[in-house]
Amino acid sequence: MSTPLYRLKAEFFKTLGHPVRIRVLELLSERDHAVSEMLNEVGVEAAHLSQQLAVLRRAGLVSARREGSAVRYSLADPGVAELLRVARTILTGVLAGQAELLADLRSDGDGPDDARPGRPETP
C-alpha cells in the first residue's frame, strides 16, 4: 500500500521546518554556493550546516557536486525557489493583515473592551 499524498506533503513541509534549511534554500535560489560561502551567510557551525544540507539532500531538494576540494550545492528543482517566493507572498499578506488589525485595535479606544478590569481609564 502506498503512502497517502497528504502524508508525503507533511513530511516535505517538515523538512522545510527549520530556519537554517530555509536560509540555505533562499541562498541557493539566488545561485549555486559552496559550503564555505554559505557558512558566513547562515551563521552556524560547519558541522551544523553540513547536517542540514544532508537533510535537504536526502529529501531531494538540493544536489551537490564536487569542484576540486569544494562541494557546491544547487537547488534540485527550480520549483523550490518558486515555493519560497509564494511563501513570502503569503506571509507578507498575513503580516499586513495583522498590522492592519493591530492598528485598528490601537486606534479603537472608545469600545466596550476599554472597561476591562485592570485597564486604567483614560480621561
Residues of the chain where predicted confidence (pLDDT) is lower than 50? none
Give dist(CA 123, CA 108) in Å, integer.
15
36 conformational bin, left if phi > 0, alpha if psi -120 to 50, beta if neither: alpha
**Kind and range of the H or E element at 93?**
helix 79-107
Closest CA to 38 of 80, 73, 13: 73
* Greatest alpha-carbon span in the chain: 73
Q: What is the pTM of this model?
A: 0.78
- What pLDDT was estimated at residue 109? 65
| C-alpha cell read off for 51 | 547536517
Structure confidence at residue 47 (pLDDT): 96
